[in-house]
Structures are given as structure tokens and as C-alpha cells.
Structure 1
């Protein structure tokens, strides 16, 4: 026995002097039996380590197994996995000894000054030649330990997957609720059209994506709506407002926007190239309302509509568009309602 081996055996004896017997090590632990330790100390080389010294990093290739003669080693597996702290007579990195060029699964860092036994893959055959029965027993324990570690890892990963699925379900539910809440914020509760806030947000998004070159705007107001509420009640008045919303929904295309601005005032913003296109929309709205009014029913389904129509300049803002359409609506109201009035794009506005 050489001097290094004698020193390693002495370290082993010093460690076990006040400890329970390790003659038959637990297969689930990394503690060596007395005979295994003596064999590894005889074949291996001693290596002194200092606190904080890195023995290897996760992902590196390794061909060496280490046995701790004195000191403490921390193994960090990363990714929120539970690490391990190993002490005297415990081993790690055994797959490097058994198969060579094994990818390390953890960082190994010295937690204190100490002494290690190193055994390289090339020395595995010498171990077998010295004591094949002992090495065979060690191999069975080492393999079982690897299997137990893998099973533990699989259980942890399964729990993490379940937790991740639960978190994703919660995130989906929260996102769905958020989308519903945002939709409620944008939408008029009675008619399900966009409200004024929804219109503002839509125009902001529209400008980010790029506005069409030419658009038209209809500003719609219910004639004598207060009379409907006073004579038939607010439920009938609500039904009339829903009827106006249905007319606007029926005429609006996928790129158009119908909105209830508040009370009995609505608007329809559409993509349109010229006056004729805008007026077709406006005439349809007024004539459809007139047709509903002629239907025989105990309570009114609709009331007359006044409409102000115009083309709008995409480079200007909503206030300019509204003022222009409102001028036409004002003239329609002065003429008795139930009609459409066009406001030229370049006409001087008399009111806003």
C-alpha cells in the first residue's frame, strides 16, 4: 500500500470512528462499504480540494468517478431540481467511470476543504481484476441508485407538468375573462354595438394598421324618440334602439363599424370611395326604418330616423368627422326628420 492510499484509509477510519457501521451500505445511498472504499483508495489517486472549487459543470463530458475521503461536495442539478450534499465515504460521477465520456447532469462544487479519490474510466478493468465480486456488487448498487434517481426525477417532472398544465388552465381562464371584460368595456350593453369608448379604441388600432384612403360617415338620430318612451314605456324604447342597431349591423361590411354613441344617437363608419356609396348606405337605413314603421303591431318597432352623411378625411380626427356629419344631421332635423342630408367635404361648417 502506497503513502497516498494509507492516508486515504486513515481518513476513512477517522470518519467512521464515531459513526454507525457501514459494512453493508444502503443501496439507495452513495455510501461505500469498507471493502469498496479500500479497493477504490488502492487503485485511485488522492486529490486535495479547496472550498468553492468546481470539479465539473453540468453538460460537460466526464470519465472520472470521485469518492469523498474528507470534506463536503454540493451537487446542483439546476432547473429548480433538488440538489444534493455528499460527505465522507460517498461517491459521485460513477457513470463516467462505468461508461466513459458521460455528460454530467450536475455542477459539482466543494463546500469545504477536503480530500477526494479519483478513478478514471481506464482503471475500471483494474478494479474488476482486483475483486470482480466486490465490483459486481458495487455496479448493482450504482445502477439501482441511477434508476432510483431517474424515477425520482420523472416523478418531479410529472408533478411540474401537472402544475404547468394547471397554471396554463388558470392563465387561459384569466385571459378569457380579461377578453370578456375588455369586450364589455368596448360594447354597448343594450345593442351589442361598439360604444363610444369602443369606437375610440377601434380608431386607435385602425390608425396603427393604416387607415383606408377614403371613408364615409353616417350620423343617425331617432326622431321623436322621447315620445315613444313617454307613450309606450322604456322597454319599447329599448326595443326600438335594438331595431336601429340591427339595421346598422345588416348594412355594415367586415371593414365597417357601427356604434351607439349614446342615448338614441348612432353612427356608421364605412369604407367608401364616393358620395354615391355613402348615400346608398344612408338611404337603406332610412328606408328600412320606414318599412318597419309600416308593419302592423300593437307597439312601435321603429321610429323615423334622421341621417347626416359625408365623406371624411382619414388624415383628420374624429372630432372633425363628427362635426361634419352633425352639420348634415342638423339640417335633416330642421327639415322634419325621416330623411338624409349630405354634407359636402369642403363645405363651410356652421356648427359643431
Structure 2
């Protein structure tokens, strides 16, 4: 999206946007400024419709959802242009490489022909002057061939670097927020989302599920850390599959996971937790070496629903207390904080 507002109009849009961001506890970062600037400008009706729906449902606009709206409605054209430019650049590089290959083949062939011709001339009684001319041509052709091969190598290295940088950029963007083992978002993302919800004064609803794998240390001691990692990876896949957006599953730390349900009541969280508990209990992992089937994996769950004026730490503490009760009551069960 291109912004072409004059200074006066831009200032007016910001004057309208900032109070809304404060009202709905929106983090003051450049992305959100642009998102809410666009919202108050009413230039993208589909964006306004989505934000209004989000505010009605959650009482705020969660950061991850805000990023998604920003990509889809504010810079979608720019992203398309950027991706097209990358594709065109890679295509151009590929074409140039092919052309250089082709030129190198012809130059090499031309050099071979001249060298053969020089040998024939030297073996004949031809003019010495003509022989010198052919000799210089052969030398120059060899130089051209070497330069062309060098240029070809540089082009190939540049192409590989472009691809590597593109992949590195993609990894860097994800690494700061992703847990590499499970593929879930990490504690950093969780804290940001929860702080935003609990800092809202708009009667937002939110429920937290804390999950802990039962006897995980004993499991690692008996079966090894590699098998333990497989269990954690399975947890990541299961939570991703069962927690549809905007439900946010994260690896909280170690063998502990958390699920933040924005806009949901504790009853809905309890249904999700019970469904996950049953699927975790049904996990069967076969050891490759021994062929032994491991079927002793379970998890305990603690749930708390956010209470107005409660801090994020207090909400987590109540969920932890419910989780502790689940463990003290025999594990492999769901407990909800009062």
C-alpha cells in the first residue's frame, strides 16, 4: 500500500490512531503505528472490518494477529512486489549463468581452433608476419577464455550467496521467536501476548493452560535424552495440530508447555485440555534398537481464566497451582483454578 497523504492529513490520522492504541493496549511499535494509521484512514475497508471483529472478540488486537493483518492488508502488494523482484533477480542470475556457460564453450572452442591453426602454420612455410598475428590472437583468446571462466565462477558464487542470504534471513526471523526442537513459539512470544491481554482495560477474555509431562526426568533417565527429544517433538506437532489460530501454544521451558486462549472461557479450555490429555496418553513410541514400545507417556494440566486487574504473573501462578494440584492428585488429569 502506498501512502500519499499530506502533512496535515498524516498528523490527523496519527492523532486519531494513538488514543486508540492506548485504549486497546496496542504495543507502540512501527508496525502497529502503520496498522492503526491505515485503520483510522479507512482506506482499506477489509482491514477495518477485521480489526473491528478482533476488538469485539478479544478486547484488544493480539500482537501475532496484528502482524498477520499488517501483512495481509497493509503491505500485501509490497510483499508481492518484493517476492517478484527476488524471483526476477534469481531468474536473471540463472539466465546470465547459462549465457556465460554458452559463451565460455564457444570461446574455448574458438581458442582450440586457433591453436590448431597456429600449429599448422608453424609446420608450414607460411609468412612469419601472419604467424605472429595468429600467435597473438591465440594468446588473446586464451586470456579471454580464462577471464570468462573466472566471471562464470563469480556469477555462480553470487547466485549461491543470494540463495543463502535469503534462507538465512528467513531463519533469523523465525529463530528469535521459535523453539527449534518443537517448532512452537517460545516463551518470549507468550509473554508479549499475555502482557498485552492482561494490560487491556476492555474486558478482554483469556484463559491459560499450563501443561507438564509427567515423570519426564525419569523418562529421560530410563530411555535417554534422544527419546526424550522425540517426545517433546511429538508434543509440538500435537499442539500445533489441535490449537488453531488464534489459540497460541508455546514451549514454556523444559518439559512444560503453555496454551493461551484469547477470547475463550475456561470451559472451552477444559475441553481442549481433556482432548489433548487423551491423545497424549495414547502416544506409542517404538525404540529402533530394542523394538520396545513405550506407552507410559502422560501429562498433567492446570487452567486459569484471567480476572480483571490480575497481572500476567498472577494468572500464570494460578494456572501453576492448578497444575500442581493435578500432579498431587495422581497426574494425567486436568484441574481448573477457582
- TM-score w.r.t. length of structure 2: 0.46
Say which structure is richer in helix: 2
Say which structure is richer in strand: 1
Structure with the greater alpha carbon radius of gyration: 1
Bigger relative contact order (CA 8 A; separation at least 6): 2
